[in-house]
Amino acid sequence: MTNRDDDMIDDLFGLAQSQTPTPSDDLMARILADAAAVQPSVASASPPQAGFVQSLMDLIGGWPSVGGLAMAGVAGMWVGFAPPTVVSDWTAELVGTPVTIDMLGSTDSYFSESMIDG
Amino acid sequence: MTAQHGIWNDAPDAALLVAYANGDPSAAQVLTARLLPRVLAQATRMLSDQAEAEDVAQDALMRLWKIAPDWRQDEAQVSTWLYRVVANLCTDRLRKRRGVPLDQIAEPADPQRGVEVQMQDTARLRALSDALAQLPDRQAQAVSLRHLQGMGNPEIAEIMDISLRSVESLTARGKRALTDILQGRKAALGYDDDEP
């Protein structure tokens, strides 16, 4: 590559950079017609679509609410597995004392005997 | 620019795009007036063909209108996004020129300049554009942004989403390849004299 080759390419670059075309009225009109054709109307304009999880989060109030829900869930499970005495008393008052009916008494003994015999 | 557009004159491009997506009728006019000259210049410099450059400009802005409702303001600047789109659209068109002989030179458009000089400039610009078409797409884009748009390497790196080192490599190799391609046409383009 010689300096004159560089001169040529630099001259061509300069020539290209000097091109500053003025957009014609026709081009401007075509582009604005395109813009009007695909512009969302005010009525149909909607915020960007969020994913399902994000929508759910928005519905219940975001992460703070999720934290509260999780705590309530854990507390509920704890009460279910190991109810404090006061809860047992309340359920007894509300639904009466639970009665256990052994439907498989004879079968139990059958199995027990079978296991002993076997 | 009419008075009703005044409120948008100082607004960032992204804000105008959001206003357009929300149905504001004047936002597209302000955005078009602001962006179209740059878009058209970039396409004209790469393609050296007025009709093709106008088609690319219209296509690029149509893509902008369509993406407006989903535009994420924190992702990229509108101008950066547009430079990328125009560069891609132009290289798509340049690719189709490969192998096609140079036989269509546009008529001179500027009556103020001598017809002969104007025709030579037109031939030179078309030759440059056709040589650009011979380069790999990424080289053509990097060279055009650097040498036809006059951009700095960091800006090119952002537009093309590549490293600075890659920009330097692409522009250097691209310029060298262009010089090699055009070397055989020096005389035809009037570069065989002492002065270009």
Q: What is the CATH number of the domain that holds B66?
A: 1.20.140.160
Tell me which residue has tokens 């395109």.
A34
b/e burial code for range B135-150 (CB count within 10 A of at least 16 → b): beebbbbbbbbbbbbe
Residue A62 domain-assigned (yes or no): yes
Cβ–Cβ gap B20/A24 under 8 Å: no
pLDDT greater than 50 at residue B130: yes
A33 touches chain B (CB under 8 A): no
In chain A, which residue's Cα lies nearest the Cα of B147? Answer: A13
Residue A25 domain-assigned (yes or no): no
Query: What percentage of chain B reaches a pLDDT higher than 70?
Result: 87
A2 touches chain B (CB under 8 A): no
What pLDDT score does A48 carry?
Answer: 47
In chain B, which residue's Cα lies nearest the Cα of A45? Answer: B22
What pLDDT score does A75 carry?
Answer: 63
Based on the structure, what is the number of domains in chain A? 1
| A35 contact residues in B (CB cutoff 8 A) | 20, 28, 32, 61, 65
Residue A15 domain-assigned (yes or no): no
- Domain span holding position A83: 56-96
pLDDT greater than 50 at residue B196: no
More confident residue, A57 or A117: A57
- The DSSP annotation for B13-49 comes to HHHHHHHHHTT-TTHHHHHHHHHHHHHHHHHHHHH--
B61 vs chain A: nearest CA distance in angstroms? 7
Question: pLDDT-derived band of residue A66, with 50, 70 and 90 as boundaries?
Answer: low
Residue B149 domain-assigned (yes or no): yes
Cβ–Cβ gap A39/B50 under 8 Å: no
More confident residue, B99 or A27: A27
pLDDT greater than 90 at residue B44: yes
Question: ipTM of the predicted structure?
Answer: 0.86
- Domain span holding position B69: 3-183
Could you tell me the CA-to-CA distances from B85 to B64, B113, B185 in Å, in that order? 9, 33, 31
What pLDDT score does B35 carry?
Answer: 97
